[in-house]
Amino acid sequence: MAAAKLALSKSSLQVVGAVDPDPKKSGQDLGKLLGQEPNGIIVSSDAAKLYSELRPDVILHCTSSFLPRVKEQLIQALDAGVNIVSSTEELLMPYHSDPELARALDKKAKEVNATLLGTGVNPGYAMDFLAVVASAVCFEVNGVKCRRVVDAGTRRLPLQRKVGAGLTVEEFKAREAAGGFGHIGMEESVALVGRTLGLELERIEQSLEAVVASQEFQTPFLTVGRGQVAGIRNIGRGWKNGTSLVELDLTMAVGSENPGDTIEIVGEPPIKMHFEGGIPGDQATAAILVNSLQGVVEAGSGLKTVVDLPPARIAR
C-alpha cells in the first residue's frame, strides 16, 4: 500500500497497472483502494495478461516473504521479460535457502534480459547492505556486528502482531512452534554479509526469543500487559572455525528503549556507524522498494542482490 502510494506520487514513475490475486480487489480502482481519488488504474487478477498488454518496464512485487510462495509469480513476470523489484525477504539472498532455484531464476532472467532484485530495509539495508558499505573503508574485515532495536509500539499493527505483542508467553511459544512467526530474512542477511565480505561462513543459525514486558505498554492498536510478550529478539549468527564472525541482533518490541541501528565492523580500522532513533521501518521499506525501480531497469540482466547494484537512488 505505502509503496504503491509512493510510486504514484513520483513524477519520474508512471504506474500503468496493478495486480492483486484477491478477487475482492480485482476490478476496483487502485486510487480508491488506496483511499485516494480514483486514478483510472483498474486492479487486475491476471498478471500474465497485464504484462503482455501493458509491457511494463518493471514491477513492484509485494506478496509474500517466502520463496516457494512467490516462485511462480517471479517466473511469470520473467516469462514476460519484465524487471522485478520484490519485497520477498527470502529473495534477498536466494542462494542461501534455495540455491537451485536461485540459479534457475538467474539463468531465466539473463535469457530474457531482465533483472530480478529482492530488497527492503530488513533484510536489504539495515543489517546487511550497510555492513557492506561500512566495510568499504577497511583494510581487512574479521567480523560484523549489527544491532537493530525497533520500538514496535511506533509501527503498524501487522508488525506488532508479527512480533507477538500482547500474547502470553505460552501463546508465543505455541505460535513459534507452528512457524512463520517473527522476522523473516535473518539468515539471508547473515549469508549476504558473509558472502560479500568473503568471510567463508561454515554455518548460519538464528535464535528467536520473546521479549517480556516489565511494565504495561499501550500502543494505538493494543495493550501489552506486564509479563506478556512485548516482541521478539532474533539473533542471526554466521560461524567459521567455531567463532561467530557475523552477529545480527534484532529486537522488535513494544516499549523498546533506545531504538536505533548500529553497524560495527570488526576490522582494521574498526568502523562504527549509528542511526539515531533507528531507520523507520515502515516508511523506509516502501521508499527503498520504489527507489530501487530505476536502478533495476538500468542494470544488466540476471538475479541480483542489493550489493550487486549501485545504491538505490531517490526517485523524483
Query: Residue numbers of the site for a copy of itself (CB under 8 A)?
Result: 6, 9, 121, 125, 129-130, 132-133, 135-141, 196-198, 267-269, 271-277, 279-280, 283-284, 286-288, 291, 300, 307-314, 316
CB of 312 to a copy of itself, least distance (A): 4
Instruction: Between 25 and 240, name the residue whose CB sits nearer to a copy of itself.
Output: 240
Instruction: Between 46 and 140, name the residue whose CB sits nearer to a copy of itself.
Output: 140
Q: What would you report as the CA-atom Rg of the chain, rounded to the nearest whole angstrom?
A: 20
CB of 315 to a copy of itself, least distance (A): 9
Q: Which residues contact 119 (CB under 8 A, 6 or more apart)?
A: 85, 86, 87, 92, 125, 288, 289, 292, 306, 312
Instruction: Between 23 and 220, name the residue whose CB sits nearer to a copy of itself.
Output: 220
Collapsing DSSP to helix, strand or coil, 120 comes out as: coil
**Rounded Cα–Cα distance for residues 198 and 190 (Å):** 12
CB of 283 to a copy of itself, least distance (A): 5
Instruction: Between 47 and 271, name the residue whose CB sits nearer to a copy of itself.
Output: 271
CB of 292 to a copy of itself, least distance (A): 8
Collapsing DSSP to helix, strand or coil, 252 comes out as: strand
CB of 143 to a copy of itself, least distance (A): 12
**Rounded Cα–Cα distance for residues 172 and 228 (Å):** 9
**Rounded Cα–Cα distance for residues 6 and 312 (Å):** 15
Instruction: Between 164 and 281, name the residue whose CB sits nearer to a copy of itself.
Output: 281
Instruction: Between 115 and 135, name the residue whose CB sits nearer to a copy of itself.
Output: 135
Strand segments, DSSP code E, in the chain are 18-19, 43-44, 58-61, 83-86, 115-118, 140-151, 203-212, 217-218, 223-224, 229-240, 243-253, 260-268, 271-276, 302-304
CB of 9 to a copy of itself, least distance (A): 8
Give the type of residue at 153. G
CB 240 within 8 A of CB 201: yes
Q: Residue 17 has which C-alpha cell?
A: 497497472
CB of 130 to a copy of itself, least distance (A): 7
Instruction: Between 105 and 117, name the residue whose CB sits nearer to a copy of itself.
Output: 117
Strands 83-86 and 58-61: parallel
